[in-house]
Structure 1
Amino acid sequence: MKAGIYLSPKQVKMTEREMPVPRPDEALIKVSYAGICGTDMMIYHGLHPRAEAPLILGHEFSGIVAASDGDRVNKGDRVVVEPLLNCGFCAPCREGQAHVCKSLRYIGIDQNGGFAEYTTVPLHRLRVLPESVTEKMGAMIEPLAVAIHTVRRSKLKVGDTAAILGAGPIGLLIGLIAERAGAGKIVISDVSPVRLQAASKMGFEAVDARKTDISQVVKEYTDGCGADVVYEVAGNQTTADQMIECVKHQGEIAVVSVYKKPPVIQLAAMHFREISLMTTRCYSPGDFTKAIELLEQNKLNLDPLVSHTLPLEDIQTGFNLMENPDQALKILFKL
């Protein structure tokens, strides 16, 4: 079978691999679509603390069951993969918070993933896609669940002003979910014309961070107060500063980014205005279910987020495109 392999920093290649054989508690999946995520880019740059080459990347993917001996799915079922692998025994797992398991692992990071024609997946990590949800959109369910979890954990209320720092796929998805949650105004900043254009088309106030300070724009809309909730989704020192400048007194900052380099946080500036800071990690099973439901009900249009659909043979091209935010948004491989 064809497989996209991470070989070393900044080197990925499509090659031939033996088709995997599923264990009794696994199904064999014929992959349909798989997306490149920010975490895949971290692995690509050799910065992920756990991922080791050679590795088949990909944890955002959908497919069709090719073989299964279990009773959860049947051959021919169209499925999406919920890629979290938790231990089931630590305190978070016992408390029903498996997404913050002390030894959480991922399909596509800690074991081979979806950048391949076929892969094996534990039966309990498979969700059958509703008839109305395409396999292409199925590959968007995992990042959508991240956005749902983020907004659900935040204190956003109906009518609130939300500021989003970073208009990548997760930032834009957070905007869509914040809109559904009743946000009165959504302002989103970035430096990429491609991403800003996508934000504008989706109905958000798009701010070019190269030309305009988003905190000033937000304050114009809020009589000088600031945003009720700021979602930090860019992960750099500039946005670490801006998230404090953008938020109102007693407002909330939700940090979604995984910083590659620890930022300097101006805690004194937060202290004097009683600003709350919250972090968020991936999603719960309920968030994943809600993502499927929203797509089934045709409540969201995610097509504008997909900038490229490539064959797996173009895996290096895909990663090259992702290196430049001016060229790409969400890239999917069609297997």
Structure 2
Amino acid sequence: MKRIGILTSGGDAPGMNAAIRSVVRSSIFHELEIYGIYYGYQGLIDGQIKPLHIGSVGDIIQRGGTMLYSSRSEEFKTEKGRQKAIEQLKKHGIEGLIVIGGDGSFRGAQKLTEEGFPCIGIPGTIDNDIPGTDHTIGFDTALNTVIQAVDKIRDTATSHERIYVIEVMGRDAGDLALWSGVAAGAESILIPEYPYNLDEVTDKIKRGHDRGKRHSIIMVAEGVGSASDIADQIKDDLQVETRVTVLGHTQRGGSPTAFDRVLAGRLGAYSVDLLLEGQAGRMVGVQNNELVHHDIIDALKKTNEISKDLYKLSNQLSI
């Protein structure tokens, strides 16, 4: 293998640039040519492909987002679209592809592998919802972004004696809400993996009020439901003032933490090593601080499991 490509797909995550940098520099270290594919799978179909050099990835390790940009492609989901993509790869002499993204991006990588084109997936998503790795690139940064916001909201909640319902990202995975809720001392944490009982939430608020507490923070993963609806129910049940904050896409931005930069560096270099070993249709990850790789399909068939111990601890600490 003499020439490989790299693309980012789906939602951006802090640390993607650090991963791109690692792939590019590791490729050059191994005397490989490396090509950047811009705008994800759609850019691959359209031939938006350019060679990358050491200077191409200078001064990006600290930047959020992705220098290769990202987009979603309905065309790539079709057989005809994937054949166009493969034709572009062959046209540019690219023999292997590294894909940074989430589960949808990995499915695309697996499709290309099944059609004879070797791909390696690097997990990059703030949701931390990819099985087979303890951490995904971007999760730690997003977590710290949420915590900083909640700390500031708590100051206002305390001053005005209000209940704040804070909605964070996570349609199908509650890791961001759970970890940030525990770290920020939220009174209740509502995540998709566990059904919630609003009576239990209001009971906690009542108990806190009885011992002199005049404010509460309720963390809600977006997959649970509307934070506004939950806040209205609490307001109606307790006759108290509630406020809602939806953090939205602020969670995806910002300079990556040291943890995400190091994780991205490790996974990026490891993915290049695997391509050179002849591996294909694999995803890389880290488990118990050790680099690992799994079959992409096997990983995607599994359900990402929330930490039951951490969820239990959250309830124990929020009595």
TM-score (norm 1): 0.38
Tell me which structure has the larger Cα radius of gyration: 2
Higher helix share: 2
Using structure 2 for the length normalisation, give the TM-score. 0.40
**Higher RCO (CA 8 Å, separation ≥ 6 residues):** 2
Structure with the higher fraction of residues in strand conformation: 1
